[in-house]
């Protein structure tokens, strides 16, 4: 995968030429907790200017990158970043805390992330992910494997949002996923067993087998704890009013 990332970066250089300001890898792939078999390679591509032709020219390279199961990069202009940090505080906090500059200059080095809209974004994202989780449960509930995949994949998305929850609580989130999960459980007084089980399933550390009843019970416990997190975040707005 590292070799394929290098190839993709070279394709971006060739595509955007002097218009390319920087390419930044962020998230778990930029940390020691990177799992090359499971971690996504999240990339921020910064251009001087973005016209439709710039995006069209990137189609071939991005298409091949997406075929590898990777996310399409985020495209920003250098000027847009300063104006966007207050709208996407979760994402920019994550970029600041875990990033590697692969090309060009570090456009994130001097940004100041405002937390004015942080609580609202965290609640919105949590509720959106919960609604999606409920919808995806319907087809996934046909098999134990489907449920395990749904829970292990969705947990990573929720852990990213838990970093925002910790920031709302005034706690600097750890960089790693497991430590972020542990800190969230501690700070919010959650039942950590469902999260730990799912985390171990994702990393093939789960001992024993799970039947259909056990898998559905685990999902129910997992969803209940997510709902508790949302209720706590929602309550913070009431407390601040």
Q: What is the pLDDT of residue 32?
A: 64
> Which CATH number is 139's domain given?
1.20.120
Where are any strands of DSSP class E within 72-228?
74-77, 99-104
How high is the mean pLDDT of the chain? 90
Mind listing the pLDDT tens digit for each residue in 138-187? 999 999 999 999 999 999 999 989 999 999 999 988 878 899 999 999 99
Residue 16 has pLDDT above 60, yes or no: yes
Q: What integer pLDDT is reported at residue 38 of this predicted model? A: 55
**Is the dihedral angle over the CA atoms 38, 103, 71, 227 positive or is it negative?**
positive
In the chain the first and final C-alpha atoms are separated, in Å, by: 48
Last residue of a domain, one of 58, 79, 104: 104
Mark whether 126 and 222 lie in a shared domain. yes
Examine the domain organization and report whether 179 and 223 are in the same domain: yes
| Count: domains in the chain | 2
Q: What is the pLDDT of residue 99?
A: 92
Of 40, 73, 104, which residue is a domain's last?
A: 104
pTM of the model: 0.73
Residues 144 and 174 in one domain: yes
77 strand-pairing partners: 47
- Position 112 in a domain: no
Q: Is 74 part of a structural domain of the chain? A: yes
The answer to whether residue 109 sits within a structural domain is no
Tokens (6 digits) for 35: 């799992």
Distance of alpha carbon 13 from alpha carbon 2, whole angstroms:
17
| Model pLDDT for residues 30-40, shown as the tens digit of each residue | 876 655 555 67
Q: Which domain does 161 fall in, by range?
A: 118-240
Mean of pLDDT values over 52-76: 94
Q: Compute the distance between CA of residue 164 and CA of residue 130 in angstroms, rounded to an integer.
A: 16
**Of the residues 104, 127, 148, which one is the last residue of a structural domain?**
104
Do 68 and 45 share a structural domain?
Answer: yes
Residue 137 forms part of a structural domain: yes
**Taking 50 as the threshold, does the pLDDT of residue 130 lie above it?**
yes
Q: Which residues contact 199 (CB under 8 A, 6 or more apart)?
A: 152, 155, 177, 178, 181
């Amino acid at each position: 995968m590292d070799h394929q990332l290098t190839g993709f970066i070279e394709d971006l250089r060739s595509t955007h030429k002097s218009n390319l300001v920087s390419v930044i890898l962020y998230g778990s792939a930029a940390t020691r907790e990177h799992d090359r078999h499971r971690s996504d390679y999240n990339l921020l591509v910064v251009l001087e200017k973005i016209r439709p032709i710039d995006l069209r020219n990137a189609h071939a390279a991005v298409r091949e990158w997406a075929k590898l199961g990777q996310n399409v990069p985020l495209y920003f202009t250098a000027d847009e970043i300063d104006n966007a940090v207050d709208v996407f505080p979760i994402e920019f906090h994550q970029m600041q805390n875990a990033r590697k500059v692969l090309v060009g200059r570090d456009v994130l080095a001097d940004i100041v992330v405002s937390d004015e809209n942080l609580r609202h974004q965290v609640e919105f994202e949590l509720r959106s992910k919960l609604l999606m989780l409920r919808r995806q449960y319907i087809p996934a509930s046909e098999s134990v494997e489907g449920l395990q995949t749904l829970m292990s994949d969705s947990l990573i998305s929720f852990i990213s949002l838990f970093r925002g929850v910790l920031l709302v609580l005034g706690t600097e989130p750890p960089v790693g996923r497991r430590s972020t999960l542990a800190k969230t459980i501690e700070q919010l007084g959650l039942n950590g067993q469902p999260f730990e089980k799912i985390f171990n399933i994702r990393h093939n550390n789960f001992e024993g087998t799970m039947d259909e009843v056990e898998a559905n019970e685990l999902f129910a416990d997992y969803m209940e704890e997510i709902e508790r997190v949302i209720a706590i975040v929602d309550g913070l707005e009431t407390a601040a009013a």
